[in-house]
Structure formats: C-alpha cells, structure tokens
Structure 1
Amino acid sequence: MAERLEQRYCITFCQKLGDNQAETVRKIQQAFGDDAMGVTQIKEWFNRFKHGRMSADSEQRSGRPSTSRNADVIEKVRTLILEDRRLAIREVADEVGISRGSTNTILTEDLGMLRVAAKFVPKPLPPEQQQLRVEVAQDMLECANRDPEFLKKAPYSPDMAPCVFWLFPRLKTPLKGSRFDRSEDIIQNATAQLHSIPKEAFQNCFQRWKDSWAKYVESQGAYFEGD
C-alpha cells in the first residue's frame, strides 16, 4: 500500500512538471519496474490530479466486505472486463480493491473466463455450443452472399460481434485517458468520433466480418483473435 502511495506522489509530481500521460507512464515503469502500477491506473490517477485532485490517498471505503467474492465485487470485475478485455489482472485487482488471487478466482470460476492472447474471453465452449457457432457462421456466409441486409448473432460469441472487435475500439481509442464531467459531454464526443469514421471503414469492417465467419467454420467454432 505504501508503495502505491509513493507511485501516486510520483504521478502528481510528473503532472505538475508538465509531463503528459505517456511520459508519466514511462517514468513510473522505469522507476518501479515490475512493481509499477498498471497503465490504466497510472492514467486514471494522472487525470485525477490534472482535474484538481490534491490527495494521493485512496478513497476511504465504508467498511470492508466480509468476502471479496460477493455479488457486488463480482459484478464490478465483470463490468471492468467487458469495458476493456485487455486489462491485466493486477489492474482489475487495483481498481476493485481486492487481491490478485481473488481477482483470478472471480474471473476463472465465477465468470468462467480465461485469457486468450491478450484478451479475456469465456472459457472454451462445450462441443454443442461450438457446433452452434459453426452453424451460425455458415448461415451468415450464405445470407451475406444472398442479401447484405441481414443480421444474425450466435450466443456465447462476443468475438463475432462487429461492435466488440471493431466499432468499440474505434470509439474508445481516441477518447482513452479523457475525463468528462457530464454525460452529455461523453455522448457528444462519442458521437463526434462515430461520425468521423468514413463509410469505407464500415465497408471494410463488413468484409472483415465475412472473412471471420469462414475462420469460425474452419476452426470448428473455437475462439480466435487477430486477422
């Protein structure tokens, strides 16, 4: 805990000296090595100090829960992972305020997830669900060839949703590290980013989606990541 506090003081020091987020992250990682806070946490504290926060102490909690695996904690972990599946276990643990061991248990046992490449996904599906993914992918390929105006979604398959693998990252990346005081500001900035995406990008996404269906069929419904 003391080391975390020390790092927060270093973050506010960097921010006051005029360093940007990237420079601050680099310096914290250089100074603390493997014990450095996660990138997400460094940026979050950087923004807090930038927007006027004076104290480097953590927020006081109104009592510690009797168990770190209660429904509220599990839901917080679920929400964080759904927002950014590339978060490290350390970053999730720091954000929620539980140990890394408890975080790992919640992810693997309570939420049934594992890490594939650099992203958390549901655990390998049973054969019947994998077969369903194959059938849906085959149907989508056939429908796309007949009529582009269609939509069909396989269950247990966030990796097959264009919003997950393409649109959300396109919206989140330009806004990462930003902090908004009003929900209206979030809507306005997100809408502006959405409107800035050219039509050709959506067309390329659809082609990438079609190419993915063939891979789902070839892989017999297994999860995969990347082109």
Structure 2
Amino acid sequence: LSERSLEQWYAIKFCFLLGKSPSETFTMLQQAFGTECLSYSQAKKWHKAFREGREEVTDEPRSGRPSSARTDVNVQRVRDFLKMDQRLSLYQVAEALDLSEATVQRIVTEDLHMRKVCAKLVPRVLTEEQKNNRVKCQGSPCSHPGTGLRGRLRVMEKPPTKVY
C-alpha cells in the first residue's frame, strides 16, 4: 500500500462526502496528483464503495497464504541451519527446511548478508568479534598445516597480513 494511494482514497472519500460524482472526483484527482493518479476505474470503484457504506479508507486484511516466506522465523531457521554446516548448497537448505530455493537464496543474500566463496557460505562483512578471532587464530601454530618446529618457524617468517 503506497502513501500516494492512501492519500487518493482519502481524497475520493472527501469528494464523495461533498456530493461529487465519480467523473468529477476523477478530474479533481488528475489535477491534484497528475501522472500518479489512480485509474478512472479504481477511482470509480472506491467512490462506489463509499456510496455503499464503507467507512474505512485503509485496505482490508486479506485471507490466504502470506506473500512471502521470508519471515523472521524462517530467517532464524536458515541461520541456525547454516551454522551447522556452511558448505551446504541452497538446494539442500531449501529441501531440509521445506522452503523454495529462491526464498533461501534471498534470505541468505539479503537478510543474512552472506555469499558463496569456495563452496562455503561466508558473511560479507565480519563483525569485530570475528575479526579478532581470525587474528588470534592466525598467530597460533596449530592453525597452520605445518607441525612442530618447522611449522612454527614458517609462522614466524610470514609477514603480518591484513584481515578482511
């Protein structure tokens, strides 16, 4: 529901209360809103609704399925699922959580701000805690493939690197 539509519905109700006809109302809407004006059929429909006793200008709630599966609950479900294993494909996550692939893809990219890097979903921007954790892990000998003294020497020889 756009703000412009709501303004026009109030204008139609106002014109109806003044006793204007649908065509007069539409002419006034065109003058006031220009190219953003509702169509004549929409203006006529709203005029008729007010004539038949409608009081509310706001849109009535609709029954049925919600327009999107991108709810806070589903975002949390996807986040928790990816914490277990970030190497899962979007298809696997969608199958496991009974969501569409498109919904999972939008949740991952738009809500969780993640992207696919080397077959692993990773956050786009690291938090301060994640940056500190990476810096801490970089300096520890156990985080490198080499073991023993040779691995430690290799760690010490490496120049400091930036953490993104």
Q: Same fold (TM over 0.5)?
A: no
- TM-score normalised to structure 1 length: 0.32
TM-score under structure 2 normalisation? 0.43
- Structure number with higher relative contact order (C-alpha < 8 Å, ≥ 6 residues apart): 1
